[in-house]
């Protein structure tokens, strides 16, 4: 069991479903007070309720991470409720329908970059400001993807956004390494039981991804939550600026 979260305040974006929801539950079980943020209100409130039913402390804040004003409001709500911010998991993201670049609409490119890349930039901008105002220290994990490390046809926007998260993670880690703020990313391979992967439009791709994965299966949200908790905890205390791949061996080929 990862330790070091007693009394800590953790923000999780994209916490209504999938990887974010599971990580919020795991953080609360490890002792953190958790602020769940998501653009989807009902499922977000249900996830916060699930944390409390399991004995944790949690609150839900609705918001769109593509909006700087919304992200500022989410961070302020966390501090107003719990007094500080120690950990953040910037996980909200979208996976647009794949299209070769000639056929890709500019609006799909813009929306993907606005949420998956600039959204993480907004989150870290406001989270780091709060952590510095507290005197420094803190841990941040961003969700990238194996598609930010390798790629595939039709994934120009998604792959560029996630590769951007890998670079953004390195740079912000270097901005504040001396202030004790550690910043890392997790790069999931194919993960089942999430809204993205359960979408019928993605089912065939996910089955193919499971077959292509050396371990012969998709991962589950807990596989990612376990890595994220370690990266957010003092047990990874000398790790910063890294993007950790969790993919059942997919990128080892
Ligand atoms: N599932 C996979 O196979 C896989 C693989 C690699 C990376 N990822 C990444 O993992 C992260 C979590 O995805 P998931 O698989 O759990 O899917 P998911 O759809 O279950 O979770 C994503 C969450 O982000 C929220 N969200 C989307 N846009 C938002 C916005 N603008 N503001 C606030 N919240 C928003 C959604 O409402 C949803 O709750 C994403 O960044 C995704 O790109 C997933």
> Which of 93, 142, 191 gets mutated to test ligand 1 (max ligand atoms within 8 A of its CB)?
93
Sequence-distant (≥ 6) Cβ neighbours of residue 93 within 8 angstroms? 14, 115, 116, 119, 143, 161
pLDDT in tens, 62-109: 999 999 999 999 999 999 999 999 999 999 999 998 999 999 999 999
Mean pLDDT for the stretch of residues 51-70: 98
Binding site membership of 20 for ligand 1 (Cβ less than 6 Å)? yes
Judge whether 165 lies within some domain.
yes
Q: Which domain holds residue 68?
A: 9-195+221-243
Q: Which atom of ligand 1 is nearest to the CA of 15?
A: 39
Q: Could you tell me what percent of the chain has a pLDDT over 90?
A: 92
Q: Could you tell me what percent of the chain has a pLDDT over 70?
A: 100
Q: Which pLDDT does position 107 carry in this prediction? A: 97
Judge whether 207 lies within some domain.
no
Q: In CATH, what number is assigned to the domain containing residue 99? A: 3.40.50.720
Looking at the predicted structure, is the pLDDT value of residue 1 above 90?
no
Chain position carrying tokens 């993919």:
247
Looking at the predicted structure, is the pLDDT value of residue 197 above 90?
no
CA-nearest of 149, 137, 109, 143 to 123 is 143
Q: Which atom of ligand 1 is nearest to the CA of 147?
A: 6
Q: Give dist(CA 107, CA 245) in Å, integer.
A: 29
CA-nearest of 18, 40, 36 to 27 is 36
Residue whose CA is at the smallest distance from ligand 1 atom 23: 14
Q: Which atom of ligand 1 is nearest to the CA of 92?
A: 24
pLDDT in tens, 220-238: 999 999 999 999 999 999 9
- Supply the residues annotated as catalytic: 158
Instruction: Mean pLDDT check: name the lowest of 114-118, 153-157, 174-178, 194-198.
Output: 194-198
Binding site membership of 190 for ligand 1 (Cβ less than 6 Å)? yes
Binding site membership of 141 for ligand 1 (Cβ less than 6 Å)? no
Q: Which pLDDT does position 196 carry in this prediction? A: 81
Judge whether 116 lies within some domain.
yes
Looking at the predicted structure, is the pLDDT value of residue 41 above 80?
yes
pLDDT in tens, 3-36: 789 999 999 999 999 999 999 999 999 999 999 9
Q: For the residues of the chain, what is the DSSP string, one character each?
A: -----TT-EEEEES-SSHHHHHHHHHHHHTT-EEEEEES-HHHHHHHHHHHHHTT-EEEEEE--TT-HHHHHHHHHHHHHHHS---EEEE-----PPP--GGG--HHHHHHHIIIIIHHHHHHHHHHHHHHHHTTS-EEEEEE--GGGTS--TT-HHHHHHHHHHHHHHHHHHHHSGGGTEEEEEEEE-SB-SSHHHHSGGGHHHHHHHHHHSTTSS-B-HHHHHHHHHHHHSGGGTT--S-EEEESTTGGG-
Mean pLDDT, all residues of the chain: 97
Q: Which pLDDT does position 3 carry in this prediction? A: 77
Q: Give dist(CA 74, CA 198) in Å, integer.
A: 28
Q: How far is the CA of 178 from the centre of ligand 1 (A)?
A: 31
Number of domains in the chain: 1
Looking at the predicted structure, is the pLDDT value of residue 59 above 90?
yes
Within the chain, what is the greatest distance between any pair of CA atoms?
51
Token duo for residue 213: 């994965």
> Which of 36, 61, 196 gets mutated to test ligand 1 (max ligand atoms within 8 A of its CB)?
196
Judge whether 252 lies within some domain.
no
pLDDT in tens, 206-221: 899 999 999 999 999 9
Mean pLDDT for the stretch of residues 138-146: 99
Judge whether 202 lies within some domain.
no
Q: Which pLDDT does position 205 carry in this prediction? A: 85
Judge whether 150 lies within some domain.
yes
Chain position carrying tokens 């009394």:
7
Binding site membership of 124 for ligand 1 (Cβ less than 6 Å)? no
Judge whether 212 lies within some domain.
no
Q: Which pLDDT does position 63 carry in this prediction? A: 98
Judge whether 23 lies within some domain.
yes
Structure-model confidence comparison of residues 205 and 184, the more confident one: 184
Confidence of residue 202 (pLDDT cuts 50, 70, 90): confident
């Amino acid at each position: 069991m990862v330790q070091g979260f007693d009394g800590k305040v953790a923000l999780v974006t994209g916490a209504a479903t999938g990887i974010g929801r599971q990580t919020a539950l795991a953080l609360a079980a490890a002792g953190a007070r958790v602020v769940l943020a998501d653009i989807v209100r009902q499922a977000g409130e249900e996830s916060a309720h699930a944390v409390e039913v399991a004995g944790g402390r949690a609150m839900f804040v609705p918001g769109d991470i593509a909006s700087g004003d919304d992200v500022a409001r989410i961070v302020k709500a966390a501090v107003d409720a719990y007094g500080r911010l120690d950990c953040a998991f910037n996980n909200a993201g979208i996976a647009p329908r794949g299209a070769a670049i000639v056929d890709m609409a500019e609006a799909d490119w813009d929306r993907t970059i606005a949420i998956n890349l600039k959204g993480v930039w907004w989150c870290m901008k406001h989270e780091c400001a709060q952590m510095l105002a507290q005197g420094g220290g803190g841990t941040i994990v961003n969700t990238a993807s194996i598609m930010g490390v390798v790629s595939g046809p039709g994934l120009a926007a998604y792959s560029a956004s996630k590769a951007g998260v890998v670079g953004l993670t390195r740079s912000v880690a270097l901005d504040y390494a001396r202030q004790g703020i550690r910043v890392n990313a997790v790069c999931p391979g194919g993960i089942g039981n999430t809204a993205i992967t359960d979408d019928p439009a993605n089912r065939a791709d996910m089955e193919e991804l499971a077959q292509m994965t050396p371990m012969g299966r998709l991962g589950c949200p807990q596989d990612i939550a376990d890595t994220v908790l370690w990266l957010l905890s003092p047990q990874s205390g000398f790790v910063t600026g890294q993007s950790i791949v969790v993919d059942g061996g997919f990128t080892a080929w």
